[in-house]
Structure 1
Amino acid sequence: MSSDHEQPEEPAAGGPEQLALIRETVRKAQVPKAKPRTWRGAALAKELPVARVLVNKGVLHLDQFFDYAVPEELDAEALPGVRVRVRFGAGGHRVRDGRREGGGMIDGFIVERRADTDYGGALAALAYVVSPEPVLSPGMLALARAVADRYAGSLADVLQLAIPPRNGRAESKPSPEPLPVPESPGIGTWERYARGPAFLAALADGGAPRAVWTALPGPHWPDELARAVAATLASGRGALVVVPDGRRAARLDAALTALLGEGHHALLTAESGPEKRYRQWLAVRRGSVRAVVGTRAAMFAPVQRLGLVAVWDDGDASLSDEHAPFPHVREVLELRAGQESCAFLLGGTSCTVEAAQLVESGWALPLSATRDQVRLAAPLVRTVGDAELARDEAARSARLPSLAWRAVRDGLTIGPVLVQVPRRGYVPALACERCRVTARCAHCAGPLEALDDRDVSCRWCGRDAGAWHCPECGGTRLRARVVGARRTAEELGRAFPAVPVRTSGRDHVLDAVSGRPALVVSTPGAEPVAEGGYAAALLLDGWAMLSRPDLRAGEDALRRWIDAASLVRSQSEGGTVVVMGEPSLRPVQALVRWDPVGHAQRELAERAELGFPPVSRMAAVAGRAETVEDFLTTVELPSDAEVLGPVSLPSPPPGRPRRPGEPPIGESWVRALLRVPPGSGAALAAAVKSAQARRLARGGTDQVRIRVDPLDIG
């Protein structure tokens, strides 16, 4: 019979040697017996036999690393960063608090090889290495952890967004050899901006400037972004540019190819397909390509020696991911700029409130043109208000005011004319009957809604509006508004029967049109580029976008208008834009003056007074009423937190697919908003994440949906 410890020779009873033996026996009994480092009879790696693994299980109470033993046959391949398969749950690894979760095989990433483990039990071993390609770098891991903490999410969920699915055929092919470092390009049209040449020079010299760039209207922005990328490459560093959609990515791709030639950059978009996209991603990770242009998911692209991160049109909703934890490209690139000490460029023809805050805080510098340059590049903008529409016989009969009709008629003599129409659909909202300012709650400044013919309450905190009065004009009567329009290409075709009409929208988006006379009817964001620019543009039903019950309604309407108007020729070339909106409204005035920065600055000042994001930080908690109520009683919020609500969330109408953030069809949900000052944002995210994790650890199945800094708070 074998024994774990060799038995010592028994000393004489009662002597000091016997007392020492007793003490040594007690000490050994208190030390746990060492576990054999084997698994199913296979020997383990002799050096660093423990692999710390991040399992692909995106639940908050399992947001930690787990230790696994490394079999000897996997020692050479089981390196940090590779994909592995492990047994997790029953029959596999045991969670540290003793609970077993799940079961069977699960994917994961090795984040570290260690000599020992702090886990007290026997370790399960790695099942196998999926691929020896190290796809998770320490820098990517640090970024993913920062994003998860920022948005109260799990590390596994972030990495699912950051690392594309494996494609074996793409992985088996070698990446091309890296091309020589290109020379720094000329400044091109950057000379139109006061600080433009200095910004490019700083990039070429290896600097890390941070700027908010308000681009001039016209077709030059792809070339200007390409020159910023080329200047960064000339310094021996890499560059990353993220744009909202594949059409704009294609324009930037063409500009970079024209400036540098083939092979200097990779294009990462969904249109590429899984194999090509993964092959391009691998070329970036391996260092074969040092510049990336892509859509939302490219914000995590593993660019080597990153020198510049840039995002175009950060107000576009497509730059916010629709999967948990819902990160926004702008925020992720800000984190990357800080972690990797690289340059940052936020560009667009318009300006968001968040961009204005970056400048006001001193984190970034403004990069804009002088007013003389703006006047040279921008088209003439004219307005048609409600009073003019009421007096206009043409508007009542043809649904097109005389001013707009003349602009279309004159524009069609020299080129195409763009007609922007708001998307179909409606959202009820309330506004002042006299001045049409959106009605807001006197307690929390949330938007008001009519529950029935008499009761009016707040969509945020649920309080009754009581005796509401307008802060602008003093009016006390409310009116219902409807967002949407049913202007069709057929109606415009009847007004101009001899002119071809083309449409561009959600079902069929045009990339470009010729410079021949035509009517191009488009929904916001789907406007095609016209050869030589449009001769004129009509921005119909401006009230429809301005009256949305959304905190960003004015900002988004101005952004949509400026994006469309930027496709029109300059005033010196005869370009004219007609917007149907009240001239006294702030977004309309900003469009006429072409002053998106001033509009954003005034919006930021008002939000600071009302405690709106981004001056404050918010988290939306949605779910069944009893679940949200239980969550709110258990979450340990910061002392300066304010709870608004909960209020009911409308279910999607029958026949329409469920959108992100909406309750499941047939279920009744409520939503509460948690608001804190900006200095408590990290504490708020940690509190809601911790509360959700505790609920999951208790075995709860009916969980709440958490979104930090939601875009749709109304």
Structure 2
Amino acid sequence: MSSDDEQSEEPGAGAPEQLALIRETVRRAKVPRAKPRTWRGAPLAEELPVARVLVNRGALHLDQYFDYAVPEELDAEARPGVRVRVRFGAGGRQVRGGRREGGGLVDGFLIERRASSDYQGALAALAYVVSPEPVLGPELLELSRAVADRYAGSLADVLQLAVPPRNGRAEGKPSPAPLPPPPAPSPGSWERYAQGPGFLRALAEGGAPRAVWTALPGPHWPEEIARAMAATLASGRGALVVVPDGRTAGRVDAALTEVLGEGRHALLTADSGPEKRYRQWLAVRRGSVRAVVGTRAAMFAPVADLGLVALWDDGDSSHSDDNAPFPHVREVLELRAAHGRCGFLLGGTNCTVEAAQLVENGWALPLRPDREQLRIAAPLVRTVGDGELARDGAARSARLPSLAWQTVRDGLRSGPVLVQVPRRGYAPRLSCERCREPARCRHCAGPLQAPDQQDLNCAWCGRAETAWNCPACGGVRLRARIVGARRTAEELGRAFPAVPVRTSGRDHVLDSVPGLPALVVSTPGAEPVAEGGYAAALLLDGWAMVGRPDLRAGEEALRRWTAAAALVRGRPEGGTVVIVAEPTLAPVQALVRWDPVGHARRELAERAELGFPPVSRMASVTGPPEAVAAYLAGAELPPEAQVLGPVPVPAGAPGRPRRQGDAPPGETWERALVRVPPGRGAALAAALKAAQAARTARGTGDPVRIRIDPPDIG
């Protein structure tokens, strides 16, 4: 209503509630439902003249669709799924319905065309269609919305991860015609697993089996993944596999080419370059290619008629995205399998706690070999404890105990020897000096720390600990060690002067090495593949990895060790692994027995008892102290939620790359953890998202970062 209309009303004509009702009735009568026909004198589309647009703005209070008018000249190109440009915002204020003429041009996706708008006013028009190529289909939109809700993020942020940037040259090139489905493959090395042939048969017949696959050590797993994808393609459906890095993707790519032939699959990695990668992505979206192997971003690949999603080595940190809303590949593929009713394969030489939980709750079935096959494929694993290492004269000369020295010398007679050394900077957590039990808080079971090297406090809830004693053995003394590489390659070069020494690490990662005698020194995750397998492997400084200040320290150490040991020849061929770590530690025992599943199940049981993820759901709230306090005070958390902390977070050192969780240099930040019991994760995410949306809508206060399922809560 105008001001004149308001003055014409007789004051005191009724109660205030009645007066408000009359005004609302008159306002609605004067402003009819919007059905635009012209825009600045230009005609609009005759049919479906309203476009519902998702603007590329990640702020949570803008996580909605906005209506725009469709000019007649854009009618043919303005189809659902295309990229568009629209004017958004005016006078520093965001507006509903895109109705202001002011504001800058922003990118967006056209979601749907409608006959009318529920906004009662004039609509702004689409500025132009960026490209007539529809890149956002209904299935990808539904998946992206589910991911945004699960991680308390915005749909626009998820689509930034799901849809690659446009490349005009790639878009202008036609995709090849799709090939007919290939024949179902033979089981091949899948016959080493009791349920392996049945799993492939179910995929080939159009089924949707779900399995957690504990792969045998050795070089066969890329071919086994390729055969699972080939079986899915034989049913007329598509298949997708996500791996941690480009080197691993290259191995699966080669296996797929050997099993399927050329032209049946796409490789989606950052190493391909923007034009080639976008061209491959378009071939997948257009249905020309039904099989995809790629790294993290490929989890959103728009594969047509998806029949299988697979993930290799889900414990690798590269599967967790560092961009908001920080989704994990495993969770995204679980959503795709559930929503799309397709097969699911989670594989690796190790088993994460999350994988064990999928089997425990019946969502997936185990797919693992029997002990006889394991004895053939796995190498012999031997241990050297700290006490033996301290008494060994050979260890003092080259960091190699006598057993390791002999193993290296014997291995070099028949092939290369791998030496795994932890990266510099591993900072172990505190543990009992007598039995190595991790030191935990009596209140919340979080890890204890000593920031000033004197007083103990909890890294989760911040409570001080003045009288700690070990609940396992009664000990009262703590230990912590920080161990780095210490020029291992140089020391080994002096110890074996006639043998070439190769290094593989962050600065230079080797893909493969010849099967000739050599010492290969590598950091975890950078181990190259040896032709014919390594004759032996040394896993040095095991305590440095087990003692990291992280809830996943033991699980991650075992994952790193099994990944390296899996590159060694089997026991019948003389393959031997020596690990320098305390033999009584649970991860070391699991490696000796080659039982990652048993270790994961025990970890899951312990976390269930202590209320740790993944049995519980947890979120972190990080930011300046006042902002964190205000956010938690305003959030309507579920009644069962437990807030731990806040505690200070470390600041990034000047000149050092900022890590996830670091405060900006020179600033004081805090982090609080919010924990809820099983079944309340969706409610927690919704509450945190609503609180963040209200905070950003007001535009006041310092920023607060929310992360669901933070990877590092140690």
Alignment TM-score, normalising by the size of structure 2: 0.95
Which deviates more from structure 2 when the two are superposed, residues 530-539 or residues 436-445?
436-445
- Structure 1 segment 534-545 matched on structure 2, within 5 A: 534-545=534-545
Equivalent residues of 1:483, 1:548 under 8 A apart: no
Indicate the residue corresponding to 2:498 in structure 1. 498
Aligned length: 690
Indicate the residue corresponding to 2:181 in structure 1. 181
Q: Aligned partners of 2:535, 2:559: CA distance in 1, in Å?
A: 20
Opposite residue 666 of structure 1, the aligned amino acid is G
Equivalent residues of 1:94, 1:100 under 8 A apart: no
SS at match of 2:112: strand
| Structure 1 residues 632-666: Cα deviation after superposition (integer angstroms, max 9, x where no partner) | 11000000000000000011223211112221122
1:452 aligns with 2:449: no
| Shift, 1:466, TM fit | 2.2
Indicate the residue corresponding to 1:593 in structure 2. 593
1:30 aligns with 2:9: no
Q: Aligned partners of 1:412, 1:176: CA distance in 2, in Å?
A: 49
| Structure 1 residues 195-249: Cα deviation after superposition (integer angstroms, max 9, x where no partner) | 0000000000000000000000000000000000000000000000000000010
| Structure 1 residues 492-540: Cα deviation after superposition (integer angstroms, max 9, x where no partner) | 1001000000000011000000000000000000000000000000000
1:135 aligns with 2:135: yes
Equivalent residues of 1:326, 1:707 under 8 A apart: yes
| Shift, 1:91, TM fit | 7.2
Indicate the residue corresponding to 2:441 in structure 1. 441
Indicate the residue corresponding to 1:4 in structure 2. none
Q: Aligned partners of 1:621, 1:27: CA distance in 2, in Å?
A: 46
| Shift, 1:482, TM fit | 1.9
Indicate the residue corresponding to 1:509 in structure 2. 509
| Shift, 1:113, TM fit | 0.4
Equivalent residues of 1:378, 1:566 under 8 A apart: yes
| Structure 1 residues 285-313: Cα deviation after superposition (integer angstroms, max 9, x where no partner) | 00000000000000000000000000000
| Structure 1 residues 264-287: Cα deviation after superposition (integer angstroms, max 9, x where no partner) | 000000000000000000000000
| Shift, 1:678, TM fit | 1.8
Equivalent residues of 1:214, 1:367 under 8 A apart: yes
Equivalent residues of 1:87, 1:93 under 8 A apart: no
- Structure 1 segment 231-246 matched on structure 2, within 5 A: 231-246=231-246
- Structure 1 segment 374-453 matched on structure 2, within 5 A: 374-427=374-427, 429-453=429-453
Unaligned runs of 5+ in 2: 1-24
Indicate the residue corresponding to 1:640 in structure 2. 640
Q: Aligned partners of 1:296, 1:182: CA distance in 2, in Å?
A: 27
Cα 1:102/1:653, change in 2 over 3 Å: farther
SS at match of 1:181: coil
Indicate the residue corresponding to 1:5 in structure 2. none
- Structure 1 segment 154-303 matched on structure 2, within 5 A: 154-303=154-303
SS at match of 2:490: helix
Cα 1:367/1:127, change in 2 over 3 Å: same
Equivalent residues of 2:515, 2:531 under 8 A apart: yes
Cα 1:555/1:30, change in 2 over 3 Å: same
- Structure 1 segment 460-471 matched on structure 2, within 5 A: 460-471=460-471
SS at match of 2:267: strand
Opposite residue 243 of structure 1, the aligned amino acid is V
SS at match of 2:429: strand
Q: Aligned partners of 1:28, 1:592: CA distance in 2, in Å?
A: 77
Indicate the residue corresponding to 2:77 in structure 1. 77
Opposite residue 252 of structure 1, the aligned amino acid is V
SS at match of 2:415: coil
Cα 1:532/1:253, change in 2 over 3 Å: same
| Structure 1 residues 337-393: Cα deviation after superposition (integer angstroms, max 9, x where no partner) | 011110000000000000000000000000000011101100000000011112211
Equivalent residues of 1:92, 1:104 under 8 A apart: no
Which deviates more from structure 2 when the two are superposed, residues 648-657 or residues 211-220?
648-657
Opposite residue 419 of structure 2, the aligned amino acid is V
Equivalent residues of 1:651, 1:665 under 8 A apart: yes
Opposite residue 553 of structure 2, the aligned amino acid is A
Unaligned runs of 5+ in 1: 1-25
Equivalent residues of 2:67, 2:97 under 8 A apart: no
SS at match of 2:203: helix
Structure 1 residue runs of 4+, over 4 Å off?
Answer: 26-29, 33-36, 91-94, 97-102
Q: Aligned partners of 2:633, 2:701: CA distance in 1, in Å?
A: 17
Equivalent residues of 2:426, 2:545 under 8 A apart: no
Cα 1:130/1:28, change in 2 over 3 Å: closer
Equivalent residues of 1:428, 1:449 under 8 A apart: no
Opposite residue 122 of structure 2, the aligned amino acid is A
Q: Aligned partners of 1:346, 1:43: CA distance in 2, in Å?
A: 54
Equivalent residues of 2:417, 2:518 under 8 A apart: yes
Indicate the residue corresponding to 1:556 in structure 2. 556
Q: Aligned partners of 2:190, 2:581: CA distance in 1, in Å?
A: 33
| Structure 1 residues 409-463: Cα deviation after superposition (integer angstroms, max 9, x where no partner) | 0000000000000011142532112122221111111111113243110010000
Q: Aligned partners of 2:566, 2:32: CA distance in 1, in Å?
A: 74
Indicate the residue corresponding to 2:8 in structure 1. none
Equivalent residues of 1:483, 1:547 under 8 A apart: no
Q: Aligned partners of 1:29, 1:350: CA distance in 2, in Å?
A: 63
1:364 aligns with 2:364: yes
1:476 aligns with 2:476: yes
Q: Aligned partners of 1:519, 1:572: CA distance in 2, in Å?
A: 22
